[in-house]
Chain A
Amino acid sequence: MKRQRLFPSTGGADSPTASVSSEARRISNAAIPAFALIPMLQHSGSAARCLVRPGDRVQEGMLIGKADGARSANVHSSVPGTVVRVERTTGADGTVSAAALVEFGGEFERTGKAPAVEDWEKLSRSDLLGRIRSAGVVGLGGGLQPTHLKLAREPGRVASRLIANGLDCEPSLQGDTFLMREKSAEIVTGMLICGKILGTARMVLAIGLAQEEELLPLFHRASEHVDRAFEVVPLPSRYPLGHEDLVRAAVLAKAGDADGDRGAENGSAECVVLNVSTLFAVYEAVVRGRPMIERTVTVSGSAVRRPSVLKVRIGTRVGDLFEECGGFLEQPGKVVLGGPMRGVAVSSLDFPVTKGVSGVLAYTRAEARPGPEMPCIRCGACVEACPWELVPTRLHKLIERGEIAQALAEGLSSCTECGCCAYACPSRIPLVESLRQGKRRGAPSHHG
């Protein structure tokens, strides 16, 4: 296959080497949690309305939070058992929502779940969409947008392409790669389901160049019976190429589309990008009738004894995952939910795994603290690293001086907080934090 140098021509960060040990080649199942804390807000948009009260019996996969409003998603119980209490909790990212604490107990039953279907192709588009919606599937690539919103189209409008994003969204996260290795057929089916809903004829699967040799045969085999245009595109696995817009741009550029501009989204060449984990969840929801109650989580970091990729029930305590992986090598100095570049550092191990937690990372004390901040030496490393061709150091200085309007005029709002600039900065200037604050100050007044 021709290895075209695509994008970023410059930009991005040299990702740290994969940290999941090689003997752990497969996704292992994490233990069923004794207590599962299930927040009603695990997606972008408004929180779900909690349907259970303390003392209620719940089954695995039972609806406990109903989507509230147009941009919301259903929440299901990940374990059978009893609701201990319902309380307001603060998520790792600072959002506040109600959460149900379910004590595990009783049998795994099949009641309260949508039945599995023999032949999904007989279902209509709206039936498929309804199954996805009721299963509470959200985008697992990081956006956490309810998937049924992304797939819904006005009548008559079709998407030109469906792109399955198989690039791990951050360095040291390998959940997507592992999933593709084990569930290639299911992912292809998920693509076909979404393709049918979108009415698109062309499907593209983007995978990392590093995994090309391993994954390409798998997907060729899985897609043998596919009657539509199906293409596997290897892309350089350089962070942040896993970002939705960049994958879209790279695929379009490779396909030679004239409008392969980054982030371009006009009607004629509308491409829908879905993460492979999301597609697997779509498959589970539609074909097996399973709502989104578990996800793959990468447990990694320098303080973890046995880094691995786990299949984890939503609501499992983060600390339990580390124990699952052999505990800590040494007292961790920092625990991060998500990836190393965009994740959220948390102050305790008591946070639950939610739909958005793609990884839990624990770093040693030595790694936890960034070096002292030094003055900017204008080396231009951030300029080179920025995949959006911004000048982060200048934006940072503008924001420091309070010139938000000028910073916005110079593209502040296209910053995706990918972290490449701060990663590259030799002076350890917290550029991302500064730009984030600048965006908040520059945002319309509903943020205050």
Chain B
Amino acid sequence: MADVHQDTRPASLVVSPAPHVTGSASSARLSWSVAFCLLPAAAWGVFLFGVPALGVLGVAVAASLAAELLAGLAARRVTIGDGSAIVTGLLVGMLMPPGVPLYVPAAASGFGIIVAKQSFGGLGRNWMNPALAGVVVALLSWSDGMSRWLPVRSAAPTVTAVPPLEALRNALTAGAPRGGALEMLRASGYPWSGMDSSVVGWVNTHVLSLFGWHLPGGCFDLLVGNISGTIGGTSVPLLLLGAALLLSRRVIRWQLPVTYLAIFCLAAQVFGGLPAGGGWFVGNMLFQVFSGGGLVLGAFFMATDPVTSPLTRTGQLAYGLCLGVLTFFLRTFGSLGDGVPLAILLGNCLSPLIDRFTRPAFPTQRKAAPG
């Protein structure tokens, strides 16, 4: 046949197994898009807290990249390009308070990349989220540095900066008169911004008074994220913007974060009032979601880390449920940050177990279809 059929023979044809076309998604692109979608919230943190925040973010990212490069050199493979190190660095930076001494983000990033990720075999083999591992080590080791909050730039320089959630906890331990979250904060003299009082005041007098409603002070600050807190966790709207982008590009799926937030909100609403001496159903779930810290950040950007979350959609629902419950308990009764990092790390540990129980079952061997 060769002598008959041999005119236009291409130089060389690639022979590879089917399929011969692939989807457009790539692991590296997924990582880069997560990093990109984190940027609005990170930029807000820089806007809010100024140069120190930028320094923390920069050090965290640089340390993370350096650690990835170092580990890569040791293992003779360069993995910087997969974008996961930059996500880790960004997340570490965004979970830090703006006033933290710079060795803390550096050490947290380094720990996350080298110990939590590369020691276990690099991307895809880490059983816990590297950024969260780094942050939890930092919380355990340098609790002092990890609580150096800065006031927002618009605030008066005399104002002491404490995130609302921590202020509430302080008020509770100080034995302040019990009540709703915002009432207690007002009673303890929490410094809301001037803009907040004018906006809330305007809305109260011009809109809500028509219905006989009244908004407590602080609502505006909480809503836009004009509060003291971690660099990346203050602005819920901007985090949601990034999350919406990720959802629309199908980088993450809604099941996990929505279950997580829903279960947490349910728990916060039903039981949240109990520690403050209230009854059932008087918790303030909106306050819990908006009061800084990393709940939204964690739900959309860290719990959804594909490597450490369950594979199947059913598994992700179960995972979200676990995370919601864990976060509520750790936030209410724990002492480590706002409970989100530790809850997600514990969830990471549960994830293989969930995978095991949610694996599709094959009771019967189905008929093998003809090729």
Question: CB within 8 Å of B: which residues of A?
Answer: 10, 13-14, 16, 35, 37, 44, 84, 87, 89, 99, 101, 142-143, 145, 171, 243-245, 262-263, 265, 317, 319, 323, 331-336, 338, 340-350, 361, 363, 367-371, 374-381, 383-384, 388-391, 393-394, 409-411, 413-414, 416-417, 419, 422-428, 430, 432-433, 436
Contacts and interface: CB of A to CB of B under 8 A. Distances in A.
A323 B8 contact: yes
Contacts of A422: 18-19, 22
A414 B5 CA distance: 40
B266 to A, nearest CB: 26
B15 to A, nearest CB: 5
Interface pairs A-B: 4 shortest CB-CB: A419-B19, A375-B124, A143-B370, A379-B306
A422 B30 CA distance: 17
A265 B359 CA distance: 26
B368 A414 contact: yes
Interface of B: 1-2, 4-11, 13-23, 25-30, 82, 122-125, 306-307, 309, 311-313, 359-360, 362, 365-371
Nearest to B365: A413
Given A393-B311, A416-B369, A426-B30, A89 B18 contact: no
Contacts of A84: 4
A87 B19 CA distance: 31
A423 B19 contact: yes
B123 to A, nearest CB: 5
A350 B4 CA distance: 9
A16 to B, nearest CB: 6
A296 B212 CA distance: 75
Nearest to A170: B19
Name the residue among A14, A343, A377, A432 with the largest chain B CB count within 10 angstroms.
A377
A417 to B, nearest CB: 7
Contacts of A427: 26-27, 124
Give the interface SS of chain B, mostly helix, strand, loop or mixed. loop
B29 A414 contact: no
Given A145-B370, A263-B367, A265-B367, A426 B13 contact: no
27 contacts: A13-B23, A245-B367, A245-B369, A265-B367, A331-B11, A333-B13, A334-B15, A341-B20, A342-B19, A343-B18, A345-B13, A345-B14, A345-B17, A345-B20, A347-B13, A348-B13, A375-B124, A380-B306, A391-B312, A391-B360, A411-B362, A414-B365, A424-B25, A426-B23, A426-B27, A426-B29, A433-B17
Contacts of A336: 18, 20
B256 to A, nearest CB: 11
Contact of B25 (A323, A426, A436): A426
B306 A378 contact: yes
Contact of B22 (A350, A417, A425, A436): A425
Contact of B1 (A87, A332, A409, A424): A87
Given A145-B370, A423-B22, A389 B13 contact: no
Given A414-B362, A416-B369, A432-B18, A101 B311 contact: no
A330 B312 CA distance: 42
A397 B359 CA distance: 15
A376 B22 CA distance: 16
B312 A416 contact: no
A374 B82 contact: yes
Name the residue among B11, B20, B29 with the largest chain A CB count within 10 angstroms.
B20
Contacts of A414: 362, 365-366, 368-369
A347 B10 CA distance: 9
Contacts of A99: 1
Contacts of B306: 377-380
Contacts of A331: 10-11
A335 B13 contact: yes
A172 to B, nearest CB: 8
Contacts of B21: 16, 171, 340-341, 367, 423
B19 A332 contact: no
Nearest to B312: A383
Contact of A348 (B4, B9, B19, B368): B9
Given A423-B23, A425-B23, 16 more contacts: A143-B370, A171-B21, A243-B369, A263-B367, A331-B10, A349-B9, A350-B5, A368-B13, A377-B27, A377-B306, A381-B25, A384-B313, A391-B311, A414-B369, A416-B369, A419-B19
